[in-house]
Amino acid sequence: MPLNIDVQQILLHMFNLVLLFGILYVLLYKPVHDFMAKREEEYKDREAKTRDALSEAEKLKGDYEKMIKDAEAELATKRAELSASAENDREKIISDAHARATQIVDEARDKAQSEHDRLMTRAQSEIAEYVSKAAEKIVMKNESLSDDFDSFFDSMAQQKEADNG
């Protein structure tokens, strides 16, 4: 043993070193490596699930946006229909009101005309009566014609005021 080297001691230290690395590999490295691999796999699974959920959410968002657009289009159509219906109803109401107004005006004209005719007939009969009375007075009393006409016009004015009042 030159240089004071003991081969047996070197081999024993090498064996201890290999044994130490083997035990550390089995006790520390392998469980930590397996734990890290599991954790990495879990994160990959979570990321895949998150991507799937995100794509599903975006698909739902697109579906909902389409549904909203369809609902808005339907609402616009309904609004247009209701507006047209309201316009038709308005036109009908106005037309009915004009017809009713025309009817009322016609009825009023008819009543006014009948009242006018009645008053004219009455006036004619009263005029005839006054004329006959005046003629009778002229013949019977020999009164002047102008007094009778004045009294006739006075009574007509009084009668007119009574009719208007």
Report the share of the chain in percent with pLDDT over 90: 64
How does the average pLDDT of the chain come out, rounded?
Answer: 88
- Shortest CA distance to 163 belongs to which of 130, 129, 128, 116? 116
pLDDT band at residue 5 using 50, 70 and 90 as cut-offs = confident
What pLDDT score was predicted for residue 134?
76
Q: Is residue 119 within 8 Å of 101, Cβ to Cβ?
A: no
The pLDDT of residue 146 is above 70: no
Q: Which structural domain range is residue 7 located in?
A: 2-164
Pairwise CA distance, residues 134 & 22, whole Å: 160
Tokens 């289009």 sit on residue: 73
Total domains, the chain = 1
Pairwise CA distance, residues 150 & 129, whole Å: 15
The pLDDT of residue 11 is above 90: yes
Predicted confidence (pLDDT) per residue in 71-96, tens digit:
999 999 999 999 999 999 999 999 99
Pairwise CA distance, residues 29 & 38, whole Å: 14
Predicted confidence (pLDDT) per residue in 14-35, tens digit:
999 999 999 999 999 999 999 9
What pLDDT score was predicted for residue 161?
79
pLDDT band at residue 165 using 50, 70 and 90 as cut-offs = low
The pLDDT of residue 142 is above 60: no
Predicted confidence (pLDDT) per residue in 46-79, tens digit:
999 999 999 999 999 999 999 999 999 999 999 9
Pairwise CA distance, residues 97 & 92, whole Å: 8
Task: For residue 137, count other CB atoms closer than 10 A to its CB.
Answer: 16
The pLDDT of residue 148 is above 90: no
